[in-house]
Structure 1
Amino acid sequence: MLVLSRKKGESIIIQDHIEVTVLAVEGDTVRIGISAPKHIDIFREEVYASIQEANRESATPLAPNVKAFMELLRETENKKK
C-alpha cells in the first residue's frame, strides 16, 4: 500500500486518468472527490463487498433445485396417471 500525506485541496493522480482530491478534513472524517472516466466504476468498500456477495450468490449452481423441481414434476405426472 502506498501511503501519502495530502492537505485540503491537494490531489493525487492515478494512471493519467483518475484524480483523487482531498476536499475537507473534519475530525476523523476526510471528504475526497474522485474524477475518473465514466467507464470506471467507483464504489465505497461496503457497497463493493455487497455487490461481490450478490454476484457469488447468483453464480451458485442451481442443479439441486432443478433436480428437486424435476422430481416434483414427475411425481405430479405420476399422480395424474
Structure 2
Amino acid sequence: MSERDEQEREFDLRWAESAEHKEPSARARMLAARWKHNPPGPVPFRADPEHLTRRRSSWVSTAVVLGCVAAVIVLLGYINFRAPY
C-alpha cells in the first residue's frame, strides 16, 4: 500500500470517528424496532435458585487436578527408575 493510501485511510478513520452522530448497528436497530411493539419483560438481577444446577465443590475439582498431577509425577518417576543407565 502506498504512503498516500495510508494517509487517506487515516484521514477517513479520523473523519468517521469524529462524527457527531453515529448510526446504531443493525442489531440495535432490529431490537429497537422489535421492543417498540413488544417490550421485553423484567429480568431479575440473579437467577432463581430453583433454576440453578448443582455444581461440584471447588475442592473436588482441585483434588482431581492435584491427583492427576501426582499420578503423572509418580508414573514419570517409575519410568525413570526402571530405565537402565
Which of structures 1 and 2 has the larger relative contact order (alpha carbons within 8 angstroms, sep 6+)? 1
Which structure shows the higher strand fraction? 1
TM-score of the pair, normalised by structure 2: 0.31
TM-score of the pair, normalised by structure 1: 0.32
- Point out the structure with max Rg over C-alpha: 2
